[in-house]
Amino acid sequence: MRLKLLSPGEMNESQRQTYDESIAGKRGKPPAPMMAWLNSPDMARHATRLGEVLRYDTIFPAKLSEIAILVTARHWTAHYEWYAHKRLALAGGMKPEIIDAIRDRRTPDFDDPKGKMIYDVAKSLHEGHGVEKGLYDEAVKVLSERGVVEVIGLCGYYTMVSMTLNTFEFELPEGEVRELS
């Protein structure tokens, strides 16, 4: 770990307010990258609020939003992010075969057209740096405009999360093994 993470007793007032707000939120605990972001308390506060919205308040159930998150974690080879969101995806009902395919950089077989579209849009954002017109038009039909905006938000936010976790070398919990190569 490249950064010393602050304990609540070491935080200044602004950092502690952000930390306390994260505990009081839907997560019930601070998200791992927020502990690094606390070096910029205002950024930490806003990023953590955005993360909470994207995790809990999109139009997608967890098994769909986690597709965009796992594609992002895989794109960035973000080991901690993969570890955390694989568990959340499974708990949300995502099939293990879909997770394995994303991990192995294979296109998964989806039963749900929304899942396939989220995957296609997320892959296009990361690999193509945008979404071409035909895919965009189809995505709006399948996901709605709000859905497309939220997939972009998920990919963008979790890109920042992945960059944070990778840059500061967040370690997996003891006994956990890296799955991404």
Decide: helix, strand or coil at residue 172. Answer: coil
Express each pLDDT in 46-90 by its tens digit.
999 999 999 999 999 999 999 999 999 999 999 999 999 999 999
Non-local CB neighbours of 74 within 8 Å, separated by 6+ positions: 82, 102, 103, 105, 180
Tokens of 22: 């994260």
Q: For the domain 62-168, what is the CATH code?
A: 1.20.1290.10
pLDDT on residue 123: 98
Distances (CA, A) of 74 to 4, 71, 160: 26, 5, 13
Average predicted confidence (pLDDT) for the chain: 96
Tokens 């009902």, residue located: 93
The C-alpha atoms of residue 181 and residue 175 are separated, in whole angstroms, by 18
Express each pLDDT in 6-35 by its tens digit.
999 999 999 999 999 999 988 888 889 999
Domain locations along the chain: 8-57, 62-168
Express each pLDDT in 156-168 by its tens digit.
999 999 999 999 9
DSSP annotation string for 87-146? HHHHHTT--HHHHHHHHTT-PPP-SSHHHHHHHHHHHHHHHHSS--HHHHHHHHHHHHHH
